[in-house]
Structure 1
Amino acid sequence: MLSRSINSKRLAFGSRFISQTSGLLQTVSPLERPVTVDRELPDPFAKKRQNRRYFWAYAIGVTILCGIIFNYEKTRSPIINSTMYFLRRSAVAKDQLGDHIDFKTSWPWIWGKLNTVQGDINIHFDVKGDKGLGELRLKAHRESSRHPFIIEQFVLAKDGIDHDLTNDPTIDFEI
């Protein structure tokens, strides 16, 4: 046993304490220990200018990343997949762009509104083929989710000339 001269003090060993008055070993959780700070805490307002720069850099970065994520979702939309399927099988598109029709770049950017829940599609994006580049424009709407889309405009623009793909007899446009 320990000496009884230090009656009310405790000696700390890890998460256990030895009580000097009773000599018993007591287990105390780390949450019950007093919190102490060995140094002065930093002042969050000391570097206001630098903190504002960090905030704006973070906000701009998050905005750009959200735009990239939303555009990626557009490129993987069933509407875009169907549109590319129709474009690849269209005789007019093959005549203008050639074979191997695909997006212009490996990271395509879909411009415009693509909201299938509200039934509103008004998009355009760049495509390429063996013969050259073009821009595909699609505008469609629907009254409700129970109705099919009504295609107002499905155009392949190449060299300033618009080619209407809805009049192509080789494919049936039902989106």
Structure 2
Amino acid sequence: MIPAPGPNTGPLMERRADRELPTVNPARRWLWTFPIFAVAVGAAMFGIFNYQKSSSSVVNSTLYALRTSPRAREILGDEIYFAQQIPWISGEMNQLHGRIDISFWVKGTKAQGKMRFRSIRPDRMSFFRTEEWSLETEDGDVVQLLDSDFDPFQQQ
């Protein structure tokens, strides 16, 4: 057997089958990289789930209804959209089991506030029923946007 090349022996010019393998360093360097990997995967997972919520039809519909609501336009002004460039949608959006309870920050030309939307489906064969649709202003005032006259999510 020919010994493996050392660190300062120069380039390996030929490969030989009778050469012994280099020694493997048994240090566990991966132990400190695994937590970094786990944090990166967790952050990516949260980002992907939040993107899925922010691009859902429920969020788009509530944002559209907020834009067309006279009360919301009176409080927030025109050009109502997400308050941040990358919005964070808090809460649960489980349409399969009939539970939607989300909130996110919106802004207009006058002010900004936190919009909350909660809707349930009592059983599998019924439609969603909106329980709460409100706007909390920066002052802490909560304005109920859902009343008997204006329910943008009511089935026709």
Same fold judged by TM-score > 0.5?
A: yes
Q: Confirm whether residue 153 of structure 1 aligns to residue 124 of structure 2.
A: no
Sequence identity (%) = 33
Q: What is aligned with 1:47? A: 27
Matches within 5 A, 1:1-175: 39-40=21-22, 42-43=24-25, 46-48=26-28, 50-158=29-137, 159-167=139-147, 169=149, 172-174=152-154
Identify unmatched segments of 5+ residues in structure 2: 1-16
The answer for unaligned runs of 5 or more in structure 1 is 1-34
Aligned to 1:24: none
What TM-score, normalized by structure 1, do the two folds share?
0.72
The residue type paired with residue 146 of structure 1 is M
Residue 59 of structure 1 aligns to a residue whose secondary structure is helix
Secondary structure at 1:57's aligned position in 2? helix
CA–CA distance in structure 2, aligned partners of residues 161 and 38 of structure 1: 77
| Cα pair distance change 1:36/1:141, threshold 3 Å | farther
Question: Which ranges of 4 or more aligned residues in structure 1 deviate by more than 4 Å?
Answer: 35-38
Q: Compute the TM-score of the two structures, normalised by the length of structure 2.
A: 0.80
More strand by share: 1
| Structure of higher CA gyration radius | 1
Aligned to 2:7: none
**Could you tell me which amino acid in structure 2 is paired with residue 76 of structure 1?**
S
RMSD: 2.0
What amino acid sits opposite 1:166 in the alignment?
Answer: L
Give the 3-state SS of the residue equivalent to 1:166 in structure 2: coil
Is residue 91–residue 168 contact of structure 1 (8 Å, CA) maintained in 2? no
Deviation at 1:145, TM superposition (A): 4.2
Shift of 1:170: 5.2
Number of aligned residues: 138
